[in-house]
Amino acid sequence: MYNRTYVNNNGLLSFSREIPEMDPVTFPSYRNEDLIAPLWTDLHDGVYYYQEYTTGYVLTRATEDIRRYYPGRGFNASWAFVATWDFVKNKNAIQFQVVLISDDNFSFILMNYGDISEIDFPVEAGYDTVGSTHYFVIPGSNHGNLIPNLKTTSNVNVPGRWAFSANQDTVIGLQMRVSSYLNLSENVTFLLEKLKYELVRRNLTSDVKLTVRSVKKINSIK
């Protein structure tokens, strides 16, 4: 729980202190602080602004979006905080936004990306928690020449938008049936990588670890 948010001009939200560093740390950083980085990099020659909302259309829109991405929770946004960065570097636009949304029970993070040009500086987009218990790096965001792709990628099928739950309460069960363990073991690496990709795309953190084991069924004779 925090009662203060620091909007840093370098594309970062922090909650315990201001962070003036222009070069991002690599997630997981294992630091003693929570960080939300829609686009942490060396930014200047632009503007950034923020606004808190407790009533009005923004809450209505936030409620609709969260209900679409996370159905079945009866979510009704009671608070939102929107921070927007609008920069120009060498006549190239860098536009992005982070939205914090809560109903006092559940909290969510939206990251929105507009036009973004390539950046020659170190860059990172995602979030990190105290001790890096949970963290996420948007794929490709730690390479300056790939970040223009942020406006077309998503984990909620909305180009340029990434959504995350701040409540680490996700439980996923998976059951598979194969004709033989040999069939599975021959492709286990490919299977696990594909499964991990799908889980991360559905909002699990990128540090999720997957393993596979076989269970042999023995039919007892009575």
Q: Residues 17-26: contacts with CB within 8 Å, 24+ apart? A: 22/121, 23/121, 23/122, 24/122, 24/123, 24/124, 25/124, 25/128, 26/124, 26/142
Sign, CA dihedral 149-44-111-92, equals: negative
CA–CA gap between residue 160 and residue 172 (Å, rounded): 26
Domain boundaries of the chain, sorted by first residue = 6-169, 171-222
Record the pTM: 0.76
The residue that leads in pLDDT, 188 or 204, is 188
Nearest to 137 by CA among 111, 100, 105, 118: 111
* Per-residue pLDDT reduced to its tens digit, 144-172: 889 999 999 999 999 999 999 988 654 45
The CA dihedral of 186, 188, 190, 192, to the nearest 10 degrees, is: 170
* Per-residue pLDDT reduced to its tens digit, 34-86: 999 999 998 876 789 999 999 999 999 999 999 999 988 889 999 999 999 99
Find residue 97's DSSP bridge partners: 84, 112
